Amino acid sequence: MNKIQTLLIGSALAAIASTSAFAQTAQPAQADSSGQMSAQMQGAPGVTPPPQNLVAPAPTDPLVQKRNANAKANAEYRASKNASKAELKATNKEAKAQYKEEVRNAKINQKADKQTAKDELNAAEPSTPKDSGLQH
């Protein structure tokens, strides 16, 4: 993990250094026939310079190529792992919700069965008091 962070920081610094070096070596603005700089180079409002695409040449060093390939493979692996983990989490969440629903339904059915059995028992017995009036 530390190697990857170091690589990312190093590549970011290299990109910044190359863009600043490119900006320093840019040619100065050409003067108009009146001796003033053109409106585009002066940064007039509404006028933006064209975007510059910097493309670094592919490294020819086999160790650098291997490092880049390993970094790419690691990134793909992490993405795949995170996707699998998210899928597993969603599946577990769905299974847990289904289980809770089944338990809830089973409890409702159990209460209904108990109530039905109680009602049948009460209907079968006469409605006489259970106490025969004997006192102890």
Q: What pLDDT score was predicted for residue 40?
A: 47
- Assess contact for 23 and 16: CB atoms under 8 A: no
- Condensed to tens digits (0 to 9), the pLDDT of residues 11-70 reads 887 778 777 655 565 555 554 454 444 544 555 556 677 777 777 777 788 999 999 999
Mean pLDDT of 67-83: 97
CA distance 9 to 22: 20
- Assess contact for 54 and 19: CB atoms under 8 A: yes
- Condensed to tens digits (0 to 9), the pLDDT of residues 87-134 reads 999 999 999 999 999 999 999 999 999 999 999 888 887 666 666 666
Is 0.75 surpassed by the pTM of this model? Answer: no
Token pair belonging to 14: 């290299």
- Assess contact for 80 and 42: CB atoms under 8 A: no
- Assess contact for 40 and 49: CB atoms under 8 A: yes
CA distance 9 to 11: 5
Q: For the chain, which residues make up each domain, given as ranges?
A: 61-123
